[in-house]
Every structure is written in structure tokens, then in C-alpha cells.
């Protein structure tokens, strides 16, 4: 091949390569521009101008009286688009000095007016389209900034960018914080009322067009959203602000006093099941905080507070009555290879005890012995007798959750007598009868006691009474009951008597109030008792509790207090949890005047000498009026104008006359000064007196002849 042909071949090869490259490039261009054109144009448009979400205003959460517990408050981020078309160079230069002064004076005094001016000019020179002016400002501050020079020209002529930012705030700070909860927090489950009613609270988001001005920044094109958001609905809870505050303060004081790990208080309206207060606190490095809703979400072994359940089962089955005598074995008995001991010393020298006192003194041995006698083993037909006890528990609604609307309530753990040796042993029944070998939440325990207080009617606990918005009520929640009573009327009345006795003469007797009555049950459960059985060196902790209701007659509120691992100043329910119950009820008594009886409605006590008014004398009609007002029984032995009180006979005051001879000094001791002057001056006697009160002493003895003397009276 000659040189000319070789050059031609090379040229053809190069030309062919160019042709092939051109064909490939044309093909790709055709594919992008024609075949996939719509797709890429849409992507380009989306990257340049696209719709973005405008969050809706989240609904408020209110207390039962309309006080704000949690609400969304409008805050605003303010930015400056220095390249907007309407902002001419002339307008900027004529007004930027004034704008810099306003920003330095009213928005951010970190910079002098000169410093602000320099920053604005540098941002303008760099072509800034999203220059931050202020963040998280109020509605009033936003309006003030919008009135500044340049900004008062609006979005398109002044470059002012206003973005609404919603801030969720709780005006009462930590009050009921965990119960109110939160929703849609990244990496966490929805919690509390915020989570349970998120669909109603969240509203419907709007949309607005935004323009991409940098890889990470988009700015709104228009001042108003293209699709306005719809605000969320408001949720009215059953919580009472006053009661919630009382419950939290009483709980935290007790936790500090006893150096306890955690505690929970739940207060419920007996007739409706409305939860009026719910507080949960736990010790942390920063103090006591609401880290978990123990009242609703934590299963515990109830301990002695659930002794009422097997006793009610025995009453329902007709096995025993409350005044029947039952063996107590001097407060100590062995079940299989485990010894059970009463914590109270009252039973240590007793062979037997009535059921009434067994509950009042919280005897483990008495209750476990009863349960073992009637529910242990099998009957003549081979049926497992413990199944009857479990059926009664089902009747009392003990094995079931309450169904409260917020998430996190676990099912109770009640063992199955047919579950085999791993599920049910010889020790299960006696220990279950005193509140071990089973698990329930504090709310589930309270709901059972609330049914007893409510004459057997089991109310479903609930936290929200209604959902409403600007158009009216969206959804209303009413009290919900189970069908029928959890027990017979006779059993409920006897259970109420048992709980009254606990406070009257039992473990809670020191908690009694002179102003009102209440009923309940103390509980002290060992947390690590299984370790103690195995002679473990691990320290055994305690859980102190009290659950009850008040007043005892026609109860209005039921309440449970559970305090875990108290380390000082007592461990028993009556010493740790009981005083919290008493403090809460004392405060509610003062908060709710409707709970007070009229003075003349209180039961009249039997009168004794020490309770009667001291001896006195005076006008008969006046004395009758006073004694009637005081409701003091009296007997009139004469109808003289001036009378005196005498000795008490059969709880009554005797009114007798004071004999006075003619022209003799009368006896005025015990009279008020008005009556004494009336009697003496009518006899022509001059009177002088000193002191205040009734006549204690007269200078001339009664019966002395009147001869124009002056008598001196000593009052006191």
C-alpha cells in the first residue's frame, strides 16, 4: 500500500468514528428530547419550582374547664430576598441605611447600625436570596419587622420572606406532661393524648409554591399559600387542673421524703370513670421527671391491695361471711416448703380472727389459708377448684385491660390453673391470693376498686370528653359501663364494709380525717421476694401502695398511689402511700365546696359533761334561744324570768331558778353583765364592775339584807 492510500484509510477510519459518535449523540439527544422529554422536563420543573407542604395549625388540648394544657403557637422566621425583581438598585440604596438602623435597634442589637449596613450590602453583592433577618419571632414582632423600610414594600417589591413556624407549648410546663404526650417524633412511638388523637389534632396541611435558589434552599414564591392548611380540632380532656396540681405536688413531696425510685397517682371520678389526675414521676440525675406513664403502662404485682378480690370471690361463692372466724395460726404458716408471715404484730398471738379484721389488719396468713381451703386442689368430680376463683376474677374484670384510649396499656397477667407445672404450682394459689404471682397496672387495680365504690358498676376509665373545632363538636365521649354489676349487691356492700374497717381500726387508722370519711386498702409488696426465697444476697425492695375512695358514703373520687422502692422514713403502704392519698383528699375537700356537709347535717355526737357549755345564768328566753341553736337538750324546772344551768342529767342541761328572798342580795354569779345589772339595779343596789365576760365573783354574798350598799362585781 502506497503512502496516499494509507492516509486515505486512516482518514476514513477517523471519519467513520466521528460519524458513529454523531449518530450515538443524535440518538441519545432524540431519546432525551423526544422519547423521555416529558419526564425530564417535569423533573427540571420540580427542581426549579415545586409545591411544598404548609403545616396546619395543630389543635389544642384542654382541661375539663377549658384551660390550655398544650397548644400550637404561631412563630415566624423572617428572611430577605435581595435579588427580587421589584427591589431596584435605587430603592435599595435610598432605604438600606434606615433598614440597617431598624434591624440593629429593634431586632438584633448584636450588630451596630453600621455593622448591619455592611452585612446587607455584602449580601446584596453576593446575590443572596435567603438572607436571615430573625427566627422564631412572635406575631407582633413579625408585623413590626414588616413595617421597616424596604420590607414594607412586600414580598415581590421588597423581598420580605415570612415563614410560619408552629411551636407546641405547654403553658403549665410539666403538669401532666406524659399524659398529654407527643406525636410523630422521629424514632419514637406516639405517646399520650397527642398520640392517641393525632388524626384529629393534626388537621390538614396546605401547599405553597417554592423556588429553588440554591442546592439546599427553597423560598416561597407568594406571600399566601396556594392551598391554605386546615387547622386541627381541639381535644377537651377530663383532667382537672387543680386536682392534677395537687396530685403531682403530693407525689413529688413523698418521693423526696422517702427517697423513692418512682411513683404514680391516678384519680378518677367514681360515677363516670373520668380520670381527673394522672401523675408519674421517676428519679433521674436531674431530679424527678415524668419519663414513663407507670400508671397505665407498667405491670406490677399488686400485693395486699388485691386481697379484696379473693375475699369477694369467697363471699360470692357463699363460703364465708365477714364476721366469721377464720384461723390465723399466730400470723405464721408454711405452704409446702415456703413460710408466709404477717407483717402486722396484731395476729402474732391469735389463733383465729374474723374476716373483717383479717382485711383490716391485712393478714396474709388468714387470706391465703381461706383461698387454699376453698380453691386448692380438685373437687369430687376431679374439677380444678382454682378455676372457680379465676372465673370470679373474670367476673370482676381483673384479667382484662381497661381499654383506656391512649396507647401502651398491657394485658394483666393472671396464671392459668391448667397451664402445667411451669404455670401453676402449689405455691401459686396462696401467693396469688395476697397479690403475688400475678401482674396488673395501677389503673387496672383502681378500676376494680372504683367498681366497688360505684356499687358494683365497672366504669371504663377515659381521658377525653369531646373533640371540637370552630364548627362545633366533632365527637363526644360518654361514660361507658360493663353490662351488669361485677358482684351481687350483698357482696359489694360487704366489700365496702371491709374497706371502711381498714380506715376505722385497721392499717390505715392513723390516716383518718375528722372532716370526712374515706375507705381503702393499704399494700406493701416485696419487689425481689423470689430472690429472698432463694436466700439471695440481693437487697429486697418494696412497693408501697394505697387504693381507695372518698367519701365512704356516696363516693365521688377513687384514687390509687403506688410508690416504688422507698429507702427512708418507712416502707409500708400506710406510712408511704397512704399519707399521699390523705393529702390529695384534704386538698380536694377544700377545692370542692360541694363535698362539704351543712353544719346541721353532721351526725350529732353524744354529749358529755366536758362537751357542754360551762355553767351560766341569765334571762330564761335568752338561754333557751342559745341552747336551741347549739342543739343542746335541756329541761326547764321553773318559769322564773332569771334562771341558771345546773348539773347534767342523762345528757341534758337542767335549767333551775335561783331562790331570792324579799329585800335580800340576789346571786348573779354566772350571769352576763347586762343581766346582772338588770337584776341588781331593780333591787335598788348600786353596782360597780371590772373585767370582761360573765360574773365570776360578787363582793356581797347572796342572801345579805339590802341596806343601800354598793356591790362590786368581778367579771372573767
pLDDT score, position 187: 44
Q: Please say whether the beta carbons of 309 and 389 come within 8 A.
A: no
CB atoms within 10 A of CB 314: 25
Residues of the chain below pLDDT 70: 1-9, 30-49, 51, 54, 171, 173-174, 184-189, 211-217, 219, 221-227, 529-539, 597-616, 618, 635, 637-661
Q: How far apart are CA 30 and CA 95, in angstroms?
A: 52
Please name the residues in contact with 628: beta carbons below 8 A apart, sequence gap of 6 or more: none
Q: How far apart are CA 72 and CA 170, in angstroms?
A: 9
Closest to 406 measured CA to CA, from 449, 472, 460, 459: 460
Q: Which CATH class is domain 246-595?
A: alpha beta
Secondary-structure class of domain 663-716 per CATH = alpha beta
Task: Please list the residues that pair with 714 across neighbouring strands.
Answer: 690, 697
Count of CB atoms within 10 A of residue 276's CB? 26
Strands in 285-394 per DSSP E = 287-289, 325-327, 332-335, 338-341, 352-354
At 443, list the grid cell.
389503673
Same fold, 52-237 and 663-716: no
Torsion sign, CA atoms 412, 415, 416, 419: positive
pLDDT of residue 345: 84
For residue 303, give the nearest of 505, 556, 560 by alpha carbon.
560
Q: Which residues of 97-126 are buried (b: 16+ CB within 10 A; e: fewer)?
A: eebbbbbbeebeeeeebeebbebbeebbee
Q: CA 528 to CA 539: how far, in whole Å?
A: 8
pLDDT in tens, 69-123: 888 777 888 999 888 888 888 999 899 899 999 999 998 888 998 998 999 999 8
Phi, psi of 127, deg, nearest 5: 75, 30
Q: Where are the alpha helices (DSSP H) in 173-240?
A: 177-180, 192-196, 198-201
Q: What is the pLDDT of residue 537?
A: 55
Q: Where are the domains of the chain?
A: 3-50, 52-237, 246-595, 604-658, 663-716
In CATH terms, the superfamily for domain 52-237 is Penicillin-binding protein 2a (Domain 2) (3.90.1310.10)
Amino acid at each position: 500500500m502506497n503512502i496516499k492510500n494509507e492516509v486515505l484509510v486512516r482518514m476514513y477510519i477517523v471519519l467513520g468514528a466521528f460519524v458513529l459518535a454523531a449518530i450515538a449523540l443524535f440518538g441519545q439527544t432524540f431519546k432525551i428530547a423526544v422519547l423521555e422529554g416529558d419526564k425530564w422536563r417535569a423533573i427540571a420543573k420540580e427542581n426549579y419550582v415545586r409545591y411544598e407542604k404548609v403545616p396546619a395549625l395543630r389543635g389544642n388540648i384542654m382541661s375539663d374547664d377549658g384551660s390550655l394544657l398544650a397548644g400550637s403557637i404561631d412563630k415566624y422566621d423572617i428572611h430577605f430576598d435581595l435579588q427580587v425583581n421589584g427591589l431596584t438598585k435605587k430603592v435599595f440604596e435610598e432605604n438600606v441605611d434606615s433598614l440597617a438602623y431598624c434591624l440593629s435597634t429593634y431586632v438584633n442589637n448584636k450588630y451596630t447600625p453600621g455593622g448591619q449596613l455592611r452585612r446587607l450590602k455584602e449580601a446584596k453583592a453576593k446575590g443572596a436570596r435567603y438572607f436571615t433577618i430573625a427566627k422564631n419571632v412572635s406575631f407582633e414582632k413579625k408585623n413590626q419587622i414588616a413595617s421597616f423600610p424596604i420590607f414594607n414594600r412586600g414580598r415581590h417589591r421588597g423581598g420580605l420572606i415570612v415563614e410560619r413556624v408552629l411551636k407546641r407549648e405547654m403553658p403549665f410546663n410539666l403538669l401532666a406532661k406524659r399524659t398529654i404526650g407527643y406525636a410523630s417524633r422521629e424514632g419514637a412511638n406516639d405517646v399520650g393524648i397527642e398520640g392517641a388523637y393525632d388524626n384529629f389534632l393534626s388537621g390538614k396541611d396546605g401547599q405553597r409554591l417554592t423556588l429553588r435558589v440554591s442546592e439546599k434552599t427553597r423560598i416561597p414564591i407568594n406571600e399566601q399559600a396556594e392551598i391554605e392548611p386546615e387547622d386541627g380540632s381541639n381535644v377537651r380532656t377530663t383532667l382537672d387542673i387543680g386536682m392534677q396540681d395537687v396530685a403531682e405536688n403530693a407525689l413529688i413531696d413523698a418521693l423526696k421524703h422517702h427517697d423513692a425510685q418512682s411513683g404514680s397517682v391516678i384519680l378518677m371520678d367514681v360515677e363516670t370513670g373520668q380520670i381527673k389526675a394522672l401523675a408519674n414521676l421517676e428519679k433521674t440525675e436531674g431530679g424527678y421527671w415524668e419519663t414513663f406513664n407507670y400508671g397505665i403502662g407498667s405491670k406490677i404485682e399488686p400485693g395486699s391491695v388485691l386481697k379484696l378480690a379473693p375475699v369477694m370471690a369467697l363471699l360470692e361463692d357463699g363460703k364465708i361471711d365477714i364476721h366469721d372466724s377464720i384461723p390465723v395460726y399466730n400470723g405464721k404458716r408454711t405452704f409446702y416448703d415456703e413460710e408466709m408471715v404477717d407483717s402486722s404484730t396484731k395476729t402474732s398471738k391469735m389463733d383465729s380472727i374474723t374476716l373483717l379484721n383479717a382485711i383490716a389488719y391485712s393478714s396474709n396468713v388468714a387470706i391465703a389459708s381461706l383461698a387454699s381451703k376453698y380453691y386448692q386442689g380438685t373437687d369430687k368430680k376431679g374439677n380444678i377448684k382454682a378455676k372457680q376463683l379465676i372465673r370470679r376474677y373474670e367476673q370482676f374484670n381483673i384479667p382484662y385491660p381497661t381499654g383506656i384510649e391512649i396507647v401502651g396499656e398491657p394485658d394483666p397477667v393472671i396464671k392459668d390453673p391448667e397451664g402445667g407445672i411451669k404455670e401453676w404450682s402449689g405455691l401459686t394459689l396462696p401467693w396469688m391470693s395476697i397479690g403475688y404471682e400475678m401482674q396488673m397496672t395501677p389503673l387496672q387495680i383502681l378500676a376494680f376498686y372504683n367498681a366497688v365504690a360505684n356499687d358494683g358498676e365497672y366504669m371504663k376509665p377515659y381521658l377525653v370528653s369531646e373533640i371540637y373545632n370552630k364548627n362545633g363538636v366533632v365527637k363526644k365521649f360518654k361514660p361507658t359501663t360493663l353490662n351488669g354489676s361485677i358482684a351481687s349487691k350483698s357482696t359489694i356492700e360487704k366489700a365496702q364494709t371491709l374497706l371502711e374497717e381498714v380506715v376505722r381500726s385497721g392499717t390505715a387508722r392513723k390516716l383518718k380525717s375528722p372532716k370526712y370519711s374515706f375507705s381503702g386498702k393499704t399494700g406493701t409488696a416485696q419487689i425481689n421476694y423470689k430472690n429472698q426465697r432463694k436466700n439471695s444476697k440481693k437487697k429486697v425492695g418494696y412497693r408501697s401502695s394505697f387504693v381507695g375512695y372518698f367519701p365512704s358514703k356516696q363516693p365521688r373520687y377513687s384514687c390509687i398511689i403506688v410508690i416504688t422502692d422507698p429507702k427512708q422514713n418507712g416502707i409500708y403502704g400506710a406510712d408511704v402511700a397512704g399519707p399521699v392519698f390523705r393529702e390529695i383528699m384534704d386538698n380536694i375537700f377544700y377545692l370542692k365546696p360541694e363535698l362539704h356537709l351543712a353544719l346541721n347535717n353532721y351526725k350529732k355526737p353524744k354529749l358529755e359533761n366536758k362537751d357542754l357549755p360551762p355553767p351560766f345564768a341569765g334571762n330564761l328566753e335568752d338561754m333557751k334561744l342559745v341552747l336551741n341553736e347549739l342543739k343542746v337538750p335541756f329541761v326547764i324546772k321553773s318559769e322564773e324570768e332569771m334562771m341558771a344551768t345546773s348539773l347534767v342529767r342523762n345528757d341534758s342541761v337542767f335549767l333551775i331558778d335561783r331562790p331570792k328572798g324579799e329585800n335580800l342580795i340576789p346571786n348573779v354569779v354566772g350571769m352576763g353583765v347586762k343581766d346582772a345589772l338588770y337584776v341588781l339595779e331593780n333591787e335598788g343596789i348600786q353596782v360597780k364592775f371590772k373585767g370582761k365576760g360573765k360574773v365570776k365573783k360578787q363582793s356581797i354574798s347572796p342572801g345579805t339584807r339590802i341596806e343601800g350598799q354598793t356591790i362590786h362585781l368581778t367579771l372573767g
